[in-house]
Structure 1
C-alpha cells in the first residue's frame, strides 16, 4: 500500500465498485497514540497518514469515518470527480481507455486510476439489488461480456437449478454438512453456487483465463471467485 505511487491502492480502486468502502486498521491510523509501538517516529507516521489521505482524495475517495485504530474511506459514486484526472501532470492520472478494466490474469498492476465506465448506470453500491435478490437479478455488467444478456443469464440460472438437483441424487451427501467446500472449476456466471445457496456449503467459483471474463458477474451476484489457468 505504501509503495511509491500507492500502486496497491490503485488496484483496490480498480476492483471496488462505486460507493464501496475500504477499511484500514493499523499504521498510520491513530498514529498519535500508536507510533511508539511501530518502531518509527510520530513525524514519519504523520507524514504517511497525510500522504495516504492525499492520495485517496485524488482518487475520489472520502474519509467516511474514523474511530480508534480503524479508518473507513468510501469511493465516490459521482463520476464528475474523475474529470480532474485528465489535467496535465496530475497523479494519479486516468488510465488509458484502451485498457480492459477487468483484466487481471497476469496483468501488471496499473499506475493509474481505472475510471468506472459511464455506460454502467446501476453498478454502484446503492444501485445494485440487495441480498439475496441480487443472486438472481441479471447484473448490468453482463452487457460488457461477449454473448452476455439477461436471457442467457436466466437460462444459465435455471439450468444449474436442474443440475444441482440431479447432482444431489447422484451424491446424497451434497447439500448436507458432510460436504462443506466445493470448487466450481469452470464457472460462467456462478450458477452452481447460486443453486446451492441454501445448503451448508461454501463454493469457490473459478473463471477460466481462456474463456470470457465473467468474474465481474460472479461478484455482482454476491458470490466469490477467482481466475485460474487449468
Structure 2
C-alpha cells in the first residue's frame, strides 16, 4: 500500500487553517474578477512579474522594465525563458516530475553554464553547488539522488493534502537538495508555481507567489535552513510561510488591478 507522505504534514499545527486562508485569498481574486476575464495577457504579465521576482531573489540586479525589454542578465533571462513553457509543463509535473525539473533547469540555466550541464543532475564526481545564499551546505550526491527519487515517487501518488502543501514541500526539497549545478532557486520556485497550477490552486497562473517570496526575502534562507535542520517544526514553519506567500501573491496579481 502506498504511503501518503504529504497528509501528515498538512496536519501540523496551524497548517490546515493557513492553507485554507491562502486558498480563499486566491479564490476570492478569481471569483471576484471572473475567470472569463482572465486572458492570456494577464497570465503572461503575472508570469513575467514572477520571473523578475524569482531572478531578483537569486541575485539578479535587473529591474522589471529591463526584464520586460529583454535587456537583462542570465538569471533573469532564464527565469523569463521558463515562463514560455510553464503552462505546458505544469500538467506533467504530477506524472513526470523529474523530466519537468530537468526541463526547467535547461530553460533556467541556458545562459549560466556549458550546454552539457543543462538539465544535468549532479554526481558525486562534481562539486556540491552553493547557489542559494544563506543555506547550509547541500547534501552529497548519493543522498540527493535518494531524496529526489523519493520526492518524485511521492508526487505521482494520491494525497489528501492541499496542493499548496505539496507545492511548498517540493520547493523546499529542490532548494535544499540543489540537484543541479546552477539555478536551483529558479528551478525550485518554478516547480512550486507549476504545482500551484497543476493542483488547482491557481489554474490560470495569475497570482505571483514569487513576489511573495521576494517581499519576505529576509526569511527565505532561514526558512529553508530551518526546514532542513529543525525537523517537523522547521517544516511547519516553512509551510506557514508559504501560505503567507501565496496569499501575498494573490494580492500582487495583475488581475487585482484590472479595471
Which has the higher relative contact order, 1 or 2, with Cα contacts under 8 A spaced 6 or more apart? 2
Q: Quick check: TM above 0.5?
A: no
Q: Report the TM-score, using the length of structure 1 for normalisation.
A: 0.32
Richer in strand (by share):
1
Richer in helix (by share):
2
